[in-house]
Structure 1
Amino acid sequence: MTADGTGLARGRRNLGLLDGLVQLSFTVHAALERVAERHDLSLAQVRLLGILRDRKPAMQELATYLNLDKSSITGLVTRAEARGFVQRFTTPEDRRAVNVTLTPKGREVTQVFVKQLEQELAVLIENLSDTDRRRLSKLASRIVTDDIHRRFPDGTILPRE
């Protein structure tokens, strides 16, 4: 506890939950934008590549997860496909459904992006103790998971493990 009773280091103030979360989201968003710019990617493309890291969803699943309509998701996938990042395919179970997967080039770009983003975000948490980092990780995971379950109660979209 500090002399002023707040528990906050000098020069730091408690923004409150609302402003703290909003300002944190802006800070993380800015880091995402900086790394995306290095790769000439839009944030929608970043989100697409992030989703495809560990799954091969159908176009409709992508549209649902990204909250985009069919024409927007088609355009997004077409642009990523033109850059060699993704490919579309059908499955024997449903030849009408089109799924999307990362190509080797897309996987490579995604891995480089993730490493660069980790470096950007490491600066944000460098003054946190290991205990605070674990606590932040648990809380952020819980918030995201709860939100996904709230928005997709049927379980069609699940967070990464």
Structure 2
Amino acid sequence: MTAGDRSDVEESTVDALVQLSFLVQGVLGRVAAEHDLSLVQVRLLAILRDRRPGMLELARHLGLDKSSMTGLVGRAEKRGLVRRIPSPVDGRGVLVTLTPAGRELAERGEAEMDERIGMLTASLTAAEHVQLRGLAAKLLHGVAGG
């Protein structure tokens, strides 16, 4: 394989990943919009499904600054989706947790996304599903490790 061939392969891979990203983001965006949520609000609910992080940890997960994080949590709190609770280890800190309504919405949204993303991959064989998960894990591990 020549350097030019490798470049073409890499460009094709980049193009395929970008197109796949647009497809998945479109599905996620439609599900979010049907529940009057933004994508970052969907991510917030997803993070809170299995943990009660502090505001700083949430900001790191979501790539937001402190003021944006405060606004995001405040809006979700007004909708009755999350609540802030005092941190048991830091008297100044607060943890963010889902309310029952927030948990129900997060679970419903997850089920809808699972169904719709599942429809995108329905034509794949079992072996292709395994291969896709393996490749995705390898890419994600590379990002997390570097």
Give the TM-score range, shorter chain.
Answer: 0.7 to 0.9
Which is richer in helix?
A: 2
Q: Could you list the runs of 5+ residues in structure 2 that have no partner in the other structure?
A: 1-10
Secondary structure class of the residue paired with 2:92 = strand
Aligned counterpart for 1:52 among listed residues 5, 29, 48? 48
What does residue range 24-39 of structure 1 map to in structure 2 within 5 Å? 24-39=20-35
**1:128 alignment partner, SS class:** coil
Query: Which of 87, 110, 115 is the equivalent residue of 2:106?
Result: 110
**Relative contact order higher in (CA < 8 Å, ≥ 6 apart):** 2
Q: CA deviation at 1:118?
A: 1.0
**Size of the alignment, in residue pairs?**
136
TM-score by length of 1: 0.80
Identical aligned residues as a percent: 49
* Residue of structure 1 equivalent to 2:133: 137
Question: What is residue 12 of structure 1 aligned with on the other side?
Answer: none
**Aligned residues: CA RMSD:** 1.3
Answering whether residue 134 of structure 2 is matched by residue 147 of structure 1, we say no
Unaligned runs of 5+ residues in structure 1 are: 1-14, 151-161
Provide the C-alpha distance between the structure 2 equivalents of 1:18 and 1:25, rounded to a whole number of angstroms.
10
Q: Deviations over 1:82-136 (max 9, x none)?
A: 1111111122211111111111111100110011111111121011001111221
**C-alpha distance in 2, partners of 1:147/1:75?**
28
Match of 1:66 in 2: 62
